[in-house]
Amino acid sequence: SYISKLSQWLFTKGRHCTDPYRIISGWLDNDSKRKTAAKPKERQGCDLSWYDDFAMNVDLSKFL
């Protein structure tokens, strides 16, 4: 697909290509950066085990 893209780009711009590897590798790098940026970042989880322990063992009579 990148070779087709390069051919189309050269034709529409009227340019000549001396190093197609450099052009296509640049496009691949840019596309991978965009995909990485577009991925949602994983949310860090939190350990709520302390909350369960507190909720199950608290003496509410101290607060009433």
- Give the three-class secondary structure for 17: coil
pLDDT in tens, 2-12: 889 899 988 88
Residue % of the chain over a pLDDT of 70: 86
Contacts of 6 (CB under 8 A, 6+ apart): 17, 20, 23, 24
pLDDT in tens, 24-46: 999 999 998 888 777 666 666 67
At residue 41, the pLDDT reads: 66
Residue 57 has pLDDT above 90, yes or no: no
At residue 43, the pLDDT reads: 66
Residue 17 has pLDDT above 70, yes or no: yes
